[in-house]
């Protein structure tokens, strides 16, 4: 099954439909590639200082640079891209709210073999989430052109409906080839992996992922973003980063305080979340709209 490509003018509902159908899709040239070049320039010293990965999953010839909210104003824009947030909300329907899961530049260096094919949701101790119930929605922005030779992400379209804990090889997958500025969407249940880089140049991908707010975040935003920086960020971004309750009660502070209130005294809502709404959504079992 080919990986479906759509134009940047496509609405988020259509992207969510494709994610439901195939578990993945590519939006061609969703942003001007110059924006991603500027982001790479912003992050230059951090990219240079990032060590290679410690194992074959992280990639011994791959550098993973995170903390992007703290380090890159352009990342703050991309994290809140309206098309992405609309598609994530529709894909994670039924959740009271969702949050940023991680921000990471994945720089796959020459000579890196194909990453083991996996589901990102295996990060949650391999918990067997029900088929068709997505807990995570991912984006991978091509910072330079992604080709089959330089390490374009390898995917098995439709595999979000497969059984869990299956093993696949590179030959079972298809490369998400796309031009710089394009964005690949894929769900937490889709089998995929970073591609082998058989060229002499680095492949740069910007991975921004989102998950239901009742799950632990992969990147710890409270520690990755120093408080002095966080205090200056806009409220919607802070909410997305996790300065919010997950569902009705998760993550409150001391006397049932909204976590945003600790960072910005007076900004929070009083008491807990909306119990009636949270209960309604929980009873719908995640099948209703968020």
Ligand X SMILES: O=C(O)CCC(=O)C(=O)O
Torsion of the alpha carbons at 23, 29, 30 and 36, rounded to the nearest 10: 110
**Residue 246 partner contact from Fe ion, ligand X, none using kind-dependent CB cut-offs of 5 to 8 Å:** none
**Strand ranges (DSSP E) for the chain?**
5-6, 24-27, 62-65, 98-108, 136-142, 154-155, 174-175, 183-187, 192-193, 203-212
**C-beta closer to ligand X: residue 210 or 252:** 210
Nearest to ligand X of 22, 258 (CB atom): 22
Query: In angstroms, what is the minimal distance from the CB of 109 to Fe ion?
Result: 17
CB 202 within 8 A of CB 107: yes
Nearer to ligand X, 20 or 218 (CB): 218
Name which of 22 and 120 has its Cβ closer to Fe ion: 120
What is the C-alpha to C-alpha distance for residues 134 and 114, in angstroms, rounded to an integer?
25
- Least distance CB 203 / ligand X (angstroms): 8
How far apart are CB 195 and ligand X at their closest, in Å?
A: 6
Shortest Cβ distance from residue 242 to ligand X (Å)? 20
Which residues contribute to the site for ligand X (CB under 6 A)? Answer: 106, 115, 120, 140, 153, 192-194, 205
Of the candidate residues 16, 30, 31, 120, the single one contacting Fe ion (CB under 5 A):
120
**Segment interacting with Fe ion, rule: CB under 5 A, options 90-98, 112-120, 183-191, 269-277:** 112-120
Could you tell me the smallest distance in angstroms from the CB atom of residue 67 to ligand X?
Answer: 16
Secondary structure of residue 87 in the 3-state scheme: helix
Closest Cα to residue 109, out of 194, 229, 4? 194
Interaction partner, residue 109 (Fe ion, ligand X, none; CB < 5-8 Å by kind): none
CB of 234 to ligand X, least distance (A): 28
C-alpha to C-alpha distance for 217 and 221, rounded to whole angstroms: 8
Binds 71: which of Fe ion, ligand X, none (CB < 5-8 Å by kind) = none
Torsion sign over Cα 261, 262, 264, 266: positive
Q: Give the pair of three-digit tokens for residue 272.
A: 């807990």
Which residues of this protein are in contact with Fe ion, per CB under 5 A?
120
């Amino acid at each position: 099954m080919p990986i479906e490509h759509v134009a940047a003018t496509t609405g988020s509902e259509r992207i969510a439909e494709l994610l439901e159908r195939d578990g993945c899709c590519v939006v061609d040239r969703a942003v001007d590639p110059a924006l991603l070049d500027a982001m790479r320039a912003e992050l230059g010293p951090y990219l240079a200082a990032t060590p290679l990965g410690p194992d074959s999953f992280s990639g011994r010839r791959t550098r993973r640079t995170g903390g992007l909210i703290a380090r890159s104003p352009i990342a703050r824009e991309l994290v809140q891209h309206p098309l992405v947030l609309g598609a994530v909300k529709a894909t994670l329907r039924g959740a009271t709210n969702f949050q940023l899961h991680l921000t990471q530049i994945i720089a796959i260096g020459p000579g890196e073999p194909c990453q083991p094919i996996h589901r990102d949701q295996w990060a949650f101790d391999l918990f067997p989430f029900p088929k068709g119930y997505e807990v995570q929605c991912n984006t991978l922005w091509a910072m330079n052109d992604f080709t089959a030779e330089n390490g374009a992400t390898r995917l098995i379209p439709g595999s979000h409906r497969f059984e869990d804990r299956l093993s696949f090889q590179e030959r079972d997958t298809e490369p998400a080839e796309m031009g710089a500025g394009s964005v690949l969407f894929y769900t937490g249940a889709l089998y995929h992996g970073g591609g082998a880089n058989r060229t002499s140049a680095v492949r740069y991908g910007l991975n921004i992922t989102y998950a239901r707010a009742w799950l632990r975040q992969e990147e710890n935003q409270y520690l990755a973003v120093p408080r002095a920086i966080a205090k200056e960020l806009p409220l919607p971004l802070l909410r997305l980063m996790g300065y919010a309750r997950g569902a009705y009660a998760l993550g409150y502070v001391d006397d049932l305080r909204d976590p945003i209130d600790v960072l910005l005294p007076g900004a929070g809502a009083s008491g807990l979340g909306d119990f009636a709404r949270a209960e309604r959504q929980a009873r719908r079992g995640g099948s209703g709209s968020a």
